[in-house]
Amino acid sequence: MLEFQSVTKRDAARLHRYYRNCRYGLCEYSVGTKLMWRKALRPSWTEAAGCLVVRNDIHGRMEFDYPVPGPEGDEEAALEAIEGYCLEKGVPVVISMVPECRASRLLARYPYVQISNIRTWRDYLYYREDLQFFTGRRYSGQRNHINKFRAGWPEAVFRSLTAEDTGAIQQFWLDFEAEFPKGDNAKALNELALAKEMLKLVGKPWFRVGGMFHGDKLIGLSLTERCGDTLIIHVEKALYSYTGVYPAMVQAAADLFGEGCRWINREDDAGDRGLRTSKLQYGPACLAPKYCFEAQNELFRYAHTIPELKTERLTLSAITEADLPAYNALVLDGDRNRWWGYDDVGGLGGPVTQTSFLDVARRDFEARQAVNFAVRLDGQLIGEAVLYRFDCRGGAELGCRIDAAHAGHGYGTEAFAAVADWGLYQLHLNRVVAKCYKENQASYKMLSSCMRKNGQDDTFFYFEKLV
Long-range contacts of 27-31 (CB under 8 A, 24+ apart): 27/123, 27/232, 27/234, 27/265, 27/267, 27/268, 28/65, 28/97, 28/290, 29/65, 29/68, 29/97, 29/99, 29/227, 30/225, 30/227, 30/232, 30/234, 31/206, 31/207, 31/225
pLDDT of 250 reads 97
Question: Is residue 277, in this structure, part of any structural domain at all?
Answer: no
380-398, pLDDT tens digit by residue?
A: 999 999 999 999 999 999 9
What are the CA-CA distances from residue 193 to residues 39, 162, 166, 271, 401 (Å)?
Answer: 12, 20, 16, 19, 58
pLDDT at 204 over 90: yes
Residues 44, 66, single domain; the answer is yes
Question: Is residue 306, in this structure, part of any structural domain at all?
Answer: yes
Residues 419, 316, single domain; the answer is yes
Question: Is residue 191, in this structure, part of any structural domain at all?
Answer: yes
> Measured between alpha carbons, how far is 387 from 371 in angstroms, rounded to an integer?
5
Q: Please report, as a single letter, which amino acid is at residue 282.
A: Y
Strand order in the sheet with 395-402: 309-310, 314-318, 370-377, 380-388, 395-402, 431-437, 460-465, 452-456
Residue 311, class by beta-carbon neighbours within 10 Å (0-12 exposed, 13-18 middle, 19+ buried)? middle
* Contact criterion met (CB below 8 Å) for 369 and 91: no
pLDDT of 187 reads 84
Where helices occur in 291-388 by DSSP H, the ranges are 298-302, 324-331, 344-348, 356-366
Mean pLDDT of 71-79: 97
Residue numbers of the domain that contains 411? 298-465
Residues 147, 64, single domain; the answer is no
Mean pLDDT of 233-251: 97
* Contact criterion met (CB below 8 Å) for 179 and 239: yes
pLDDT at 336 over 90: no
Mean pLDDT of 80-101: 96
pLDDT of 345 reads 84
Residues 52, 129, single domain; the answer is no
What are the CA-CA distances from residue 213 to residues 157, 161, 193, 369 (Å)?
Answer: 5, 10, 22, 59
274-304, pLDDT tens digit by residue?
A: 999 999 999 999 999 999 999 999 999 999 9
C-alpha gyration radius of the chain:
30
Question: Is residue 284, in this structure, part of any structural domain at all?
Answer: no
Q: What is the CATH number of the domain that holds 47?
A: 3.40.630.30
Question: Is residue 193, in this structure, part of any structural domain at all?
Answer: yes
Q: Which residue from 313, 303, 450, 307 is spatially nearest to 376, judged by alpha carbons?
A: 313
> Measured between alpha carbons, how far is 32 from 201 in angstroms, rounded to an integer?
10
Residues 337, 460, single domain; the answer is yes
> Measured between alpha carbons, how far is 32 from 235 in angstroms, rounded to an integer?
9
Residues 355, 422, single domain; the answer is yes
Decide which of 267, 290, 325 is a domain's last residue.
267
pLDDT band at 343 (very low <50, low <70, confident <90, very high): confident
Residues 255, 369, single domain; the answer is no
pLDDT at 182 over 80: no
Residues 115, 221, single domain; the answer is no
> Measured between alpha carbons, how far is 272 from 97 in angstroms, rounded to an integer?
19
Helix axes 186-199, 166-179, angle to 10 degrees: 170
> Measured between alpha carbons, how far is 156 from 152 in angstroms, rounded to an integer?
9
Predicted structure pTM score: 0.89
Helix (H, G, I), strand (E, B) or coil at 98: strand
Residues 96, 132, single domain; the answer is no
pLDDT of 72 reads 94
Question: Is residue 356, in this structure, part of any structural domain at all?
Answer: yes
> Measured between alpha carbons, how far is 393 from 111 in angstroms, rounded to an integer?
6
pLDDT of 103 reads 97
Higher pLDDT, 341 or 418: 418
> Measured between alpha carbons, how far is 433 from 451 in angstroms, rounded to an integer?
8
What are the CA-CA distances from residue 338 to residues 208, 331, 342, 441 (Å)?
Answer: 60, 11, 9, 13
Residues 187, 211, single domain; the answer is yes
pLDDT band at 354 (very low <50, low <70, confident <90, very high): very high
Residues 110, 230, single domain; the answer is no
427-437, pLDDT tens digit by residue?
A: 999 999 999 99
Q: How many CB atoms lie within 10 A of CB 264?
A: 27
DSSP H/E element including 434: strand 431-437
- Show the 3-state SS of 248-317: HHHHHHHHHHCCCCCEEECCCCCCCHHHHHHHHHCCCCEEECCEEEEECCHHHHHCCCCCCEECCCEEEE
Question: Is residue 281, in this structure, part of any structural domain at all?
Answer: no
Decide which of 121, 138, 157 is a domain's last residue.
121
Residues 158, 220, single domain; the answer is yes
Q: How many domains does the chain have?
A: 3
Q: What is the mean pLDDT of the chain?
A: 95
Q: Which residue from 380, 9, 374, 409 is spatially nearest to 206, judged by alpha carbons?
A: 9
Mean pLDDT of 377-381: 97
Cα torsion 116, 122, 126, 128: sign: negative
Residue 431, class by beta-carbon neighbours within 10 Å (0-12 exposed, 13-18 middle, 19+ buried)? buried
Question: Is residue 176, in this structure, part of any structural domain at all?
Answer: yes
118-155, pLDDT tens digit by residue?
A: 999 999 999 999 999 999 999 999 999 999 999 999 99
Decide which of 68, 93, 121 is a domain's last residue.
121
Residue 6 DSSP one-character state = E
